[in-house]
Amino acid sequence: MIRLKNIHKTYHSPGRVSHALAGVDLHIRQGEVFGIIGRSGAGKSTLIRMLNLLEHPTQGEVWVGGQNITAMSDAQLRRFRHGVGMVFQHFNLLRSRTVLDNVCFPLRLTGMARREQLQRAYEVLELVGLTDHAAKYPRQLSGGQQQRVGIARALANRPELLLCDEATSALDPETTQSILRLLLDINSRLGITIVLITHGMDVIRSVCDRVAVIDAGFLVEVGDVLDVFLHPTHPVTQSLLSESGVDAEGWRSMAEGIEGKLIRLSFRGDATVQPMLSRASRELALDLSILQGAVGRIKDTPYGQLVIAVNGDVQAQEQLAGLLAGEGVECEVLRP
């Protein structure tokens, strides 16, 4: 659906040149929820704004739905943008217009007849659960409700692509979860590709299929969210995960003074909730102690990771790895 080819973006301001993006190549698939995460100033906003050319690359090409949008004329670009919805951190609603008029606004820009505008607007307001608030003004709504209006407005033109620029950063945790659930619902019911940028790994974990990590203008890691959570390779990814409570290295401080072989087990899906360890311990007469553990859910998939110390018969230890692998558990020896 989207291909970024060797994208560079350089900003020149008095006395300063800033390389916001440095040779970014990226492929985003049709129908997926794709997250871009990075620290402040990493280049996330610049990157998401490339996808509808609110920012033009200094070098490189942006392809969306088989079209090179970097080669489009202004008129072509205006038409293309009607098919891309955007949701903003601070909602960007028109304060002096009602909810209904805010949602109709992008439809009016396409020259759509008023009757059709109203029909579309009520359709999307129903989707976001705000039909009863159509006549209100933004100031009469909570932050979460205002963001729902922002989402309804972004969906009004029936886009194939929805861009979310820190859509939940201004919201409390509970409201964040309800907006994320709404985005997931939109993705699965309408099949719209969603690209979001965020500072928060929790946002990535709750809704994304794949994730890209950006640091100082470089894409440093891209992959399925489950793979990135279980096996982060770049130090920036590891520290972002550790700040969100997923610390893959916490076992090190416990390991000294603990005897036995140390292994890390990674579980995905049903394997996460099976009583495999107690069975293995019983059948192989091994002592297993847990040094570190985390279980959670990535989108709809349960996952878990445990670091355990294994003591007992050497042959039984070999059998343990085989037994767990047979159940779909990945085993990685941390200390023989």
Considering only 28, 44, 85, 187, the residue that binds ligand ATP (CB under 6 A) is: 44
Return d(Cα 205, Cα 286) in angstroms, integer. 34
Single residue of 14, 15, 40, 173 touching ligand ATP by CB under 6 A:
40
Other CB atoms within a 10 A radius of the CB of residue 256 amount to 6
CB nearer to ligand ATP: give 166 or 286: 166
For 39-103, give the DSSP string. Answer: -TTSSHHHHHHHTTTSS--SEEEEEETTEEGGG--HHHHHHHHHTEEEEETT----TTS-HHHHH
Q: What is the largest CA-CA distance in the chain?
A: 78
Q: How far is CA 145 from CA 27, 185, 309, in A?
A: 32, 16, 49
Of 7 and 226, nearer to ligand ATP (C-beta) is 7
Closest CB 142 distance from ligand ATP, rounded Å: 24
Number of residues that bind ligand ATP (CB under 6 A): 12
Q: Out of 24, 28, 46, 246, point to the residue binding ligand ATP (CB under 6 A).
A: 46
Binding piece for ligand ATP, criterion CB under 6 A, among 36-44, 94-102, 289-297, 298-306: 36-44
Does residue number 67 form part of the binding site for ligand ATP (CB under 6 A)? no
Instruction: Name 278's Cβ contacts closer than 8 Å, sequence gap at least 6.
Output: none
Q: Which is nearer to ligand ATP, 188 or 239 (CB)?
A: 239
- Asked whether position 43 contacts ligand ATP by CB under 6 A, the answer is yes
Sequence-distant (≥ 6) Cβ neighbours of residue 169 within 8 angstroms: 89, 198, 199, 200
Q: Alpha-carbon distance 176 to 201, whole Å? A: 13
Closest CB to ligand ATP among 41 and 129?
41
- Cβ atoms of 200 and 244 within 8 Å: the answer is yes
Q: Does 20 bind ligand ATP (CB under 6 A)?
A: yes
Task: Return the residue of 28, 33, 42, 69 that touches ligand ATP, per CB under 6 A.
Answer: 42
Stretch that binds ligand ATP, among 39-47, 67-75, 113-121, 235-243 (CB under 6 A): 39-47
Residues that bind ligand ATP (CB under 6 A): 11, 13, 18, 20, 38, 40-46
